[in-house]
Each structure stands twice: as C-alpha cells, then as structure tokens.
Amino acid sequence: MFFRVVLCCDAINVFYELNPPKIVKGERFDLGELKGNIQEMTNRASQLRGLVSGIHLTDSVLGIPRLSSVTAARYIKEHVDAEARLSCSIRVRDRNFPSLCQTVSDAILIGAESVLILMGDEPADKLGDSGLRPSTAVRMLKKEGYDLNIKLDLSFPARVKDKSSQSIRNKLNVTPHSLVSQSISSLSDLGEIVDLAKPYGIKVTAVVMVPSEKNYQSASLIGLDWSEYESNPVDFIRQATKMADAVLLTSPNSFASGLQLLRQLKQ
C-alpha cells in the first residue's frame, strides 16, 4: 500500500533525514542482515507519514560505507510511497566526474527531487580522494544540463566566519538551487546565510539537530552548541522555517526523539 508523504497541517516546510543502513555491520557482508536493515529503514519512512514535507537520504556519513542514498530512495519509492518527495546526498570525495554523472542520472530516473553535492567525511579506510570538489561538480553538472532535470544543492557552513573566502564565493557564484547548512546553533547565523544567498536567488535549507541525550555525542563531534534552542526546539524550528525556505531535521542516534519533535511541531 502506498501513501503520500504530506506536509504537516500548519504548512511549515520540514524535511527529515534518514541514514541508509550500513553495508557491513560485522566482519563480513551479510545479505540477509542488509535486507532486514533496509526493511527497518522503509518502516521508519512510513512512520513519517503526515509529519514531513519529504525525506532526505544521506551518503555514508563519517565515511562508513552505507547503502547508496539513491538506492535507498528507490526502496522508499517502491515500498513506501511512489510520490514521496526525496532528496539524496552525494559525496564527491569518492567519485570522479563520470561516476558522479551516473549517480545523478540514477537519482533523476528514480524521481528524486534534488541532490545535495557535498565533500563527505574522510572514508574509514583513509584511501585516496578523487580531487573533485562540490562547487566544481555542480558547475560541471550544470554545464551538462543536469539542473534541467533535478535540483542541484550545495552544502554550506553553519556559521560564516569569512564572507569573502574563496570557498564561500565559489559556492555562491556557481548558484546552486539551494544551500543546505550544516547543523545550525543560532538563528542569527542562519540569518547571515540567508542574507548571503538572497542576492544570488539561492534558496536556503537550515539543518537542525534534535537536542536529545542520545544525540549529544554527535553534537559534540561537530562542535554543535544547541543551548539556544535546547529548551524549546519547536519555536526555534518554527522561526527557522520563517527565515529559510526549509528545515531539515536530523536525529542521527534517536529516531524516536525525531518523531516526538515532529509530532510536537504538528500540534
């Protein structure tokens, strides 16, 4: 049975991030275990019914090999909702341009709405780097016309320390469809990102991590201070949706905490 992943009743534009399952959890590849973990992922996607605008699939977070974000999106399309709004992260650290073109083409064919082009964490085996950079990748994809068929987004720092840095200029000058921030800790920081993007006609998606005990370690790893919104994440997210075009909610270590916050947002 299919369902439509619909926007919550008060029309705030909130997406939810899902991590595809790890390919190998023990010492060896286990197809049966992987299929079971895929089923768990699709079950989670089904629980988001009526709570979100869409779902974002990540790409091997922390460099640990996981099911492809595009393959994960296909499973959700086939087993949960054929009309679901889905976006996929694509790491360029692991891909040369032909490989990137293949992955983006696959995303278009399965009906993904957008792809987030990002550098990606260093792989666990620390072997090599393709040399391809996100801004360059988006520029090349736009030259080939991929942006006519799918939205091309770029990752962006949660806080801009130097507006004139070459990295920031490159991201703005390539004019992606959206800038997707790293996990924000401050509405004032988000405001600066929006102000930078607006003259270029670039949309902004603000990533917000659910402030739960199980997510504390993940927050610490990236230096995230959620003290500004820990006591009232609902109002923080509502304010963020008024400033940015969308909010992407992430809860890397607690799906239950993410669901609880989504339900509070709907009230």
The closest alpha carbon to 204, from 166, 164, 243, 239, belongs to: 243
pTM, whole model, 2 decimals?
A: 0.92
The closest alpha carbon to 76, from 50, 43, 104, belongs to: 43
Does 100 reside within a domain?
Answer: yes
Residue pLDDT, tens place only, 119-149: 988 776 666 677 899 999 999 999 999 999 9
CATH for 76? 3.20.20.220
Does 4 reside within a domain?
Answer: no
Does 7 reside within a domain?
Answer: no
Give the range of the structural domain holding residue 46, as residue numbers without chain letter.
Answer: 14-266
Better pLDDT: 120 or 8: 120
Does 101 reside within a domain?
Answer: yes
In the chain, the percentage of residues whose pLDDT exceeds 70 is 94
d(CA 207, CA 230): 15
Does 93 reside within a domain?
Answer: yes
**Do 94 and 123 form a contact (C-beta atoms < 8 A)?**
yes
Does 113 reside within a domain?
Answer: yes
Number of domains in the chain: 1
Confidence label for 11 from pLDDT (cuts 50, 70 and 90): low
d(CA 23, CA 29): 7
Confidence label for 3 from pLDDT (cuts 50, 70 and 90): very low
State the chain's mean pLDDT as an integer. Answer: 92
Q: Which range is least confidently modeled, 22-31, 34-43, 79-88?
A: 22-31
Does 50 reside within a domain?
Answer: yes
d(CA 181, CA 184): 7
Confidence label for 7 from pLDDT (cuts 50, 70 and 90): very low
Does 3 reside within a domain?
Answer: no
